[in-house]
Amino acid sequence: MNRNLKKYFPLFVLPTLVAFTIAFLIPFLLGIYLSFTKFTTVNDATFIGFGNYIKAFQNHDFLNALWFTTKFVVVSVLTINIFAFAVALLLTRGKKGTNVFRTIFFMPNLIGGIVLGYIWKLIINGILARYGVTLTYSETYGFWGLVVLMNWQMIGYMMIIYIAGIQSVPDELMEAAKIDGASRWQLLRHVTLPMVMPSITICLFLTLSNSFKLFDQNLALTAGDPSKRSSMLALDIYNTFYGRNGWEGVGQAKAVVFFIIVAVIALLQLKITRKKEVES
């Protein structure tokens, strides 16, 4: 069996490997190379060293987007996970209509980001119209608009993951704790939470990386207005790459920096939360 597996290994891995190389590895390496060059289209590039990176970090818009994104990530990761966990707790009590509510909460996640962005733009502008302003009046409006939108979209998805986690907490464990006289809060804090740690790991990872990489919602909701102050990293990179002639390389450099930031934070988070996971 083992011998066979070895023999067929290249045969079975090959398609995936080819796909991975064509669709990921080559573009990725090419992208890193391009970040050190000046180019108009991807096949005529001249090497210029670290110039693009210097320009990227001197670029006020980029630093602004970085700060805006960081604030957004902190707020949205916290709110999404807290709300999603709370909803998951409520919907695992076996109350009537649980399934209907689960479905309803999950539904926003099925709509694409651009559409959601426009829907919320209409809703928020409709409310703000009473005060004679619009969403793009100040970046604070855009910020909270994005937080609300992201919450609305992601809570359902995270809720499903938390529900699966909560349901897999063994009943005997809960019962044992109850017999020992644990209060409801103690049950949650010392039994449920440690047991759903794997779900928390995955939810944190998903919300963190999705919030960091947020693009279409940002584009549809505010498009960076006013004065690019509400544009997040992905949108800023897009605008640099496509919006400014001669800045393609800088856009690419920003994208590489962006990748490193997301990768480092995501890996750190995975490592930290993994440590807290327990075996039942």
Partner 1 sequence: MRRAKKAVALIVTLLMTASLCSGCGSKKSTEIYFLNFKPEIAQVYEDIAKDYEAETGVKVKVVTAASGTYEETLRSEVAKSDPPTIFQINGPVGFQNWKDYCADLKDTNLYAHLSDKSLAVTEGDGVYGIPYAVEGYGIIYNQAIMDKYFAMGGVVSSMDEIKDFTTLKSVVEDMQSKKADLGIEGVFASTSMASGEQWRWQTHLANIPLYYEFKDNTAYDNTILAGLASDEINFTYSDNFRNVFDLYINNSCTEKGMLSGKSVSDSMAEFALGQCAMVQNGNWAWAQIKEVSGNTVKEEDIKFMPIYSGIAGEASQGLCVGTENYFAVNSQVSDELQKASEDFLYWLFSSDKGKDYVVNQLGFISPFDTFADDEKPNDPLSKEVLAWMEKDTTSVVWAFASFPSEEFKNQFGDALLEYTQGNQDWDYVVNTVKDAWKSEKANQ
**Binding residues for partner 1, per CB under 8 A?**
8, 11-12, 14-15, 18-19, 22, 40-44, 125, 129, 131-138, 223-228, 242-248
Q: Which one, 45 or 147, has the nearer CB to partner 1?
A: 45
For 170, phi then psi, to 5°, come to: -65, 135
Cβ at position 83, least distance to partner 1 in Å: 29
Cβ at position 192, least distance to partner 1 in Å: 44
Q: Which one, 78 or 129, has the nearer CB to partner 1?
A: 129
Cα dihedral 142→144→150→155 (10° resolution): -170
Cβ at position 15, least distance to partner 1 in Å: 4
Q: Which one, 108 or 226, has the nearer CB to partner 1?
A: 226
Cβ at position 222, least distance to partner 1 in Å: 8
Q: Which one, 41 or 99, has the nearer CB to partner 1?
A: 41
Cβ at position 127, least distance to partner 1 in Å: 13
Pair 190, 184: CB distance under 8 Å: no
Pair 48, 36: CB distance under 8 Å: yes
Q: Which one, 63 or 82, has the nearer CB to partner 1?
A: 63
Pair 155, 163: CB distance under 8 Å: no
